[in-house]
Amino acid sequence: MKLSGIKQGLTGRIRVPGDKSISHRAIMFGSLAKGKTVIHDILRGEDVLSTMQAFRDMGVAIDDQGDLVTIQGVGFSGLQAPQGPLDMGNSGTSIRLLSGVLAGQDFTVEMFGDDSLSKRPMDRVTLPLRQMGVTVSGQGDRDLPPLTLTGSKSLRPIHYQLPVASAQVKSALIFAALQADGESVIIEKEQTRNHTEDMIVQFGGHLSVDGKEIRISGGQTFEGQEVTVPGDISSAAFWLVAGLITAGSHIVLENVGINETRTGILDVIQAMKGQVSLSEVDPVAKSASLTVESSALVGTEIGGELIPRLIDELPIIALLATQAQGTTVIRDAEELKVKETDRIQVVADALNSMGADITPTQDGMIIQGPTPLHGAVVNTFGDHRIGMMAAIASLIIQEGQVTIERAEAIKTSYPSFFDDLERLSHG
């Protein structure tokens, strides 16, 4: 795919796809609850569809009518052994969280994924699950997929301190703990997105959260619910940055999720003097409309407890920093190395090839700005966020074209991305 710079700003109103993290979990809790769950505005990206198909393969009736999904839940005890291996596609969320779901089942399941997923380490999940009594094996020292997992109806509770700040690992252990015999204690390294905890309460369960410590009892049951998925702030992030760096822009993003564990990018934009305002705030749904305008930006430092609140937004934040005055430092972000790609190196290589001045470090990047950008060839390596970052960068190139190789990866999380880009480009 070839893209050129635009002559005018981006203007208009759009609604970004449903939150990916919430969509995954709504399908999981709906399947594990008793009775009917109705989900509105679900993200129908390829990752979420992988989760949906996995539960269908385990005997759950799921009626997908586009934005409306109806699930006839079977409870933890009603899952059935699938007829074959479960295909996780490119979805780290699917394979890690399902490992926790399957921990309490007494059948054997193989889970596999695409080339990118097959390079992502699963030991951060498999090691604590083994402590709970799960039999699981992967490839090599770090348990790369495919994984073969046999759960246990006699799961031991666990007291576990997470060595990494990862909502996926935390959520996998919570799903396992819900099936264990007794109370489990999970202690986070840093607080991460809490959609799993919120959804336990929404579906009628209970847990105790005290700072970074989570206590959860096994043997709980859930009741089907009606769930409305807000727009994904990780998807909205691309338009926030596009609006900030493209002269003459004014964009309104409707119904975006503003869960407090996910809004780190808004804090960064504020620190960089970017103009973003919130309206139509719904404190119950934790959503709002966001309005962004082109801005004069300054560099900032990003690290510590802020990182888990914006880990998925760091590739597009790196682009933002290339257009800010001064130095931006991203640190404490080692987790970027085990995403769909090594996002530290891939982001630096992609933007540097376009004229940026980025030095990758062991745990982040040092970005000098502002720098003019030009056309280049960018390979996504199957990483949807790299593809969308390159597309937004193309808006401000001063010469040439941006050629995005493997642009189809964007469908993983944002199937209508280029339609929305076209709409905003023409006001």
Residue closest to 110 by CA, chosen among 152, 53, 149, 56: 149
Q: Are the C-beta atoms of 108 and 375 separated by less than 8 Å?
A: no
Enclosing H/E stretch for 275: strand 275-282
- What the block records as the tokens of 76 is 């933890």
Which residue blocks in 33-91 are alpha helix, DSSP H?
Answer: 46-57
CA angle 205, 122, 120 (to 5 degrees): 125
- What's the chain's Rg over C-alpha atoms? 21
- DSSP conformation class of 143: T
The total of other beta-carbon atoms located within 10 Å of residue 427's CB is 10
**Alpha carbon separation from 63 to 27, 60, 67, 138, 269 (Å, rounded):** 11, 10, 11, 32, 40
Enclosing H/E stretch for 287: strand 287-293
| Residue 396 backbone zone (phi > 0: left; psi -120 to 50: alpha; other: beta) | alpha
Hey, which residues are catalytic here?
312
| Residue 318 backbone zone (phi > 0: left; psi -120 to 50: alpha; other: beta) | alpha
- What the block records as the tokens of 154 is 């006699």
User: Residue 85, preceding bond cis, omega within 30 degrees?
Assistant: no
